[in-house]
Amino acid sequence: MIQTETLAPPPTHPSPSPLRWWRRLHEETLGGAIFAPRPFLANVLLALLPEGTLSVLRTGVYRHVWGIRVGSGAVIMGRLAFASAHLAAQNVQIGSRAVLNARVFIDAAAPVNIGDGASIGHDALLITTDHAIGLPEFRAAERFEKPVTVGAGAWIAAGAKILPGRTVGAGAVVAAGAVVTKDVAENTLVAGVPARKVRDL
């Protein structure tokens, strides 16, 4: 006679309720802001607008639907990418006559002030968050935020990166692809990685 081993049924664990799952997910997101209706609605509308066209309408969506402070005469040429999007209305200010090209990335975890008449090229990054260097097991340790300021009339060219806590002075130019690790004086041209002064303007 062949003996068969009877296996105990696998232990059953109560499946977490949807409310419990939602609460945990909510707690693990930045500040518990998992769903912000205004940015959600704005993104739905912005997805319908092709890049490079309908700039007045797009700018109006950012101003009136999202709630971002956008000055008169400002032009937004394409969708902006936000980190901490739920804080954009509180922390981002775009001055009058400023021009933002397509795919500009704005980290809204800390204040970002873009001055009157400033120009931001496509694929530029304005970054406000950084991390302390931690132990070998986890180098990106404690996170912190510092504001970014782009002065009036300044030009941040395509693909340039402005790191946390930096100020680009009024009338300054940051060349394409440059990485700004120190403040840029007014009316100067900087270029390179890291960005260095090329000349006065």
- Its sign, for the CA torsion 104, 64, 111, 35, is negative
Cα–Cα distance, 82 to 193 (Å, whole number): 24
The separation between CA 137 and the C-alpha centre of its own chain, rounded to angstroms, equals: 27
Cα–Cα distance, 53 to 190 (Å, whole number): 31
Residue of 13, 64, 86, 131 with catalytic role: 131
Q: Which residues pair with 126 in a beta bridge?
A: 106, 162
Which of 192, 146, 151, 193 shows the shortest CA–CA distance to 172?
A: 151
How many Cα neighbours within 13 Å face the side chain of 109? 17
- Please state, as a whole number, how many other Cβ atoms lie within 10 Å of the Cβ of residue 100: 27
Known catalytic membership, residue 131: yes
DSSP 36: -
Cα–Cα distance, 155 to 173 (Å, whole number): 5
> Which residues are catalytically annotated?
131
